[in-house]
Amino acid sequence: TFDRALRALPITQHNRVWPLYLRFVQSARIPELAVRVYRRFLKIEPDRVEEFVDYLKKIKSWNEAAVQLAELVNSDTFVSQYGKSKYDLWKELLTIITKNPSDIK
């Protein structure tokens, strides 16, 4: 399994496993599992949080997507890998909140 591979390989080789693991959990159609795996992945690759936000929007996990975007907006050190400005992230956050108010806690 992917978990065993990650435990067995040195951290320098994890980059060979993570892309396959993330693709697998997304295709498995078990959103809860994919979210847990992404959270684990972000501990190693925190700069890839925008991928996680995209996935959360794809599965319509609006509250979690809003939480993640709020953290990005409030971060003084975050630099978007997609080239988005703080203003773009704010717009994305506000769009989620205004279109899905009943899903935001």
Across 66-73, average pLDDT: 98
pLDDT band at 5 (very low <50, low <70, confident <90, very high): very high
Q: Residue 6: helix, strand or coil by DSSP?
A: helix
Q: 63 and 105 in contact (C-beta within 8 Å)?
A: yes
Give me the residue spans of the domains in the chain: 1-44, 46-105
Question: Is pLDDT of 94 > 90?
Answer: yes
Residue 74 sits at the vertex; the CA angle it makes with 33 and 85, to the nearest 5 degrees, is: 95
CA distance 80 to 84: 5
Alpha helices (H) along the chain: 2-8, 18-27, 31-44, 49-58, 62-74, 86-99
pLDDT for the residue 93? 98
What local confidence, expressed as pLDDT, does residue 9 receive? 93
pTM of the model: 0.90
